[in-house]
Amino acid sequence: MLHRNEKVELIKRAPLFAHCSRRELEQIAQLADEIDLRDGKVMTQQGGRGREFFVLLEGAADVNKDGQKINELGPGDFFGEIALVSDTPRTATVVATSPIRALVVSEQSFRRLLADQPEIQNKVLAALAARLAPETL
C-alpha cells in the first residue's frame, strides 16, 4: 500500500496536474485507489467512454490504436487523464501484458473534487487547454 506522499509524487507527473500545488495534489491523491488487475485485462477500449485515470505502479501494458501496438507502458506511466475532464472517446486501447498494480481515480470522484475546489478546476482546465492547443510558430 502506497503512502500519501508516494501517491502525490506519481500523480504530479501527469501533465494535467502540473500546475497544482502540493496541497491540491494531496487532495487528488486522496481520491486514488490502489487496484490489482490480471494479465490480459483491457483497461481502456478505443472509442469507449473514459471513466478513470490510471498510474501504473507495477506491471506492463500495451497501447494499441486501430489494432496496432503504438506504445508500451510500465511503472510510473499514466493514461486516461483526459477522460477525467472531457467526454471525448478513448483514443486507444490499453491492455495489461502482465499482472498490474495501479492507482486509479474515478471520473465521478474527480468531478466532485473539481466542483468543490474551483482553483484545482482552473489549473486542470488550463493544463488541458495547453495540451490540446495547436503548436504555435
CA distance 114 to 85: 9
- Sign, CA dihedral 4-9-14-15, equals positive
Q: pLDDT of the chain along its 137 residues, tens only?
A: 777 788 888 888 888 888 899 999 999 888 889 999 999 999 999 999 888 989 898 999 999 999 999 999 999 888 887 777 777 889 899 999 999 999 998 888 888 888 888 898 888 888 877 766 665 44
Q: CB–CB of 103/59 below 8 Å?
A: no
Global pTM exceeds 0.85: no
Q: What 3-state DSSP class applies to 18?
A: coil
Domain ranges across the chain: 4-132
- Region 4-132: CATH code: 2.60.120.10
